[in-house]
Amino acid sequence: MTTHKGFTTNILHADRLDKPEHGALHKPIHTSVTYGYEDVQDLVDIFQNKKKGYAYSRQGNPTVSALENKITIMENGLGTIAFSTGMAAISATVMTLIKKGDHILASSYLFGNTRSVFQTFIELGLDITFVDATDIENVKNGITPNTKMVFVETIANPATQIADLAGIGELCEQKGIIYMVDNTMTSPYLFQPVKVKASLIINSLTKYIGGHGNALGGSVTDTGLYNWENYPNIFEGFKKQVKPSVLGLTQIRKKGLRDSGGTLSPEAAHSLAIGAETLALRLERACSNALKLAGFFEAHPFIKKVYYPGVEGHAQHERAKNLFLKFGGLMSIVLADGVDCFAFLNRLKLVVKSSNLGDTRTLAIPVAHTIFNELGPEKRAEMGIPESMIRLSVGIEDIEDLLADFDNAFA
């Protein structure tokens, strides 16, 4: 289905255009694990990728498909496969597309759990190296004859570095390398990686797309730009069954999702789809709040440093301005020497001391002690994470209340 209306209109009306039963406005929650057919040939054709349809819910479910369809529209892609979490989407996609002997070049500024699963892959024998991808020269120098994939995030979490997204896209296109972009921090409302020639886009639906901290989910979207026809790791059988453009999607669903078992439940898919309806509204508010808070923190004597792409001093401020609609809802701060980080956090009454990001509520977490604790001080330094950093995921509260809460905590 193609739609050509505005971002939010498309999301709101996507299910209805597919004519759900009884004129429902939402695709219903289908809980059936398996699907039966009058004619066994239909079942066989679905198994052999000759026909679209559902056989066993681990690899596809109508409620989940309705969400996948919305993400495809938001990302302006070719197709999407949903997973139980963002981590499942990342690990299943890498597992199914990369083989021993292949090399992955990844940004050194990565979400901690992505860094963790890449470490696991290294221990299983994959060759993965990390470079500062904010500078294209490092990416050029990091590519080897065996490089099959470059993996970056749009705005890195927590220190908000921004890779040279457009430069890397050019490079990957020239060299025929899969360009995988984790768009979680920006979401397709602020940025569509297809515009910088991404091949595959990851979204943790748990974050901005779902947006309410009430359901986990992840997705991978194929933009349609990568030519899978000559990609060596595609299962031979698929080449006989489907057209070249959907070889990547077929392999990720039929092998990646099947093998990993990281299936999104229809109940979670429904919650995420409802959340997605207000993605643009929530992000407008969160970005506006974040920009005001960044200004407040920059002027505050108790704050040593603010990491936010929206501030003039940010190393990739211009890049962010050129690529993204707004600067996002995530920022990190470092308190001035002598200000007790835990005491400050404990004085916050409204802001929740919590992990997660992209929630409607503002969340704060001390980074080195929690989400990046297992890495140790050396890897943290390599990833540009100071020991005293606090990450804030700015929510959609009224800005006066947020400012008052921080003001009070500093008092």
Site residues for ligand PLP per CB under 6 A: 85-87, 111, 113-114, 153, 157, 182, 184-185, 204, 206-207, 216, 218
Min CB(154)–ligand PLP separation in Å:
8
Min CB(339)–ligand PLP separation in Å:
27
Min CB(336)–ligand PLP separation in Å:
28
Min CB(261)–ligand PLP separation in Å:
15
Nearer to ligand PLP by Cβ, of 207 and 253: the residue is 207
Nearer to ligand PLP by Cβ, of 151 and 228: the residue is 151
86 token code pair: 């963002």
3 token code pair: 């739609």
Nearer to ligand PLP by Cβ, of 75 and 153: the residue is 153
Backbone angles phi, psi at 95, to 5 degrees: -60, -35
User: Please, what is the angle between helix 7-17 and helix 62-75, to 10°?
Assistant: 150
Min CB(157)–ligand PLP separation in Å:
5
Question: Between the CA atoms of 294, 296, 302 and 307, what dihedral angle is there, to the nearest 10 degrees?
Answer: 10
Nearer to ligand PLP by Cβ, of 328 and 409: the residue is 328
At 38, the amino acid letter reads E
Distances in Å between the alpha carbon of 104 and those of 98, 99, 139, 149, 326?
Answer: 8, 10, 11, 5, 30
Min CB(97)–ligand PLP separation in Å:
17
- Contact between residue 288 and residue 221 where contact means Cβ atoms under 8 Å apart: no
- Contact between residue 201 and residue 181 where contact means Cβ atoms under 8 Å apart: yes
* 368 membership: H or E segment, kind and range: none
Nearer to ligand PLP by Cβ, of 188 and 303: the residue is 188
Min CB(232)–ligand PLP separation in Å:
27
Q: In the complex, which residue's CB is closest to ligand PLP?
A: 86
Q: Give CA–CA dist 27/309, Å, rounded.
A: 37
Nearer to ligand PLP by Cβ, of 183 and 250: the residue is 183
Min CB(88)–ligand PLP separation in Å:
7
Q: Give CA–CA dist 365/283, Å, rounded.
A: 20
194 token code pair: 């297809």
Nearer to ligand PLP by Cβ, of 59 and 85: the residue is 85
Q: Give CA–CA dist 255/245, Å, rounded.
A: 17
Nearer to ligand PLP by Cβ, of 217 and 266: the residue is 217
**Whether residue 232 has a cis bond before it, omega within 30° of 0:** no
Nearer to ligand PLP by Cβ, of 246 and 385: the residue is 385
Q: Give CA–CA dist 333/181, Å, rounded.
A: 25
Nearer to ligand PLP by Cβ, of 90 and 351: the residue is 90
CA atoms within 13 A on the CB side of 173: 14
Min CB(149)–ligand PLP separation in Å:
16
- For residue 156, which of 134, 127, 124, 179 has the smallest C-alpha distance? 134
Q: Give CA–CA dist 288/4, Å, rounded.
A: 27
- Contact between residue 306 and residue 294 where contact means Cβ atoms under 8 Å apart: yes
- Contact between residue 307 and residue 159 where contact means Cβ atoms under 8 Å apart: yes
Min CB(398)–ligand PLP separation in Å:
25
Backbone angles phi, psi at 268, to 5 degrees: -65, -40
Nearer to ligand PLP by Cβ, of 183 and 223: the residue is 183
Min CB(205)–ligand PLP separation in Å:
7
Q: Give CA–CA dist 409/344, Å, rounded.
A: 6
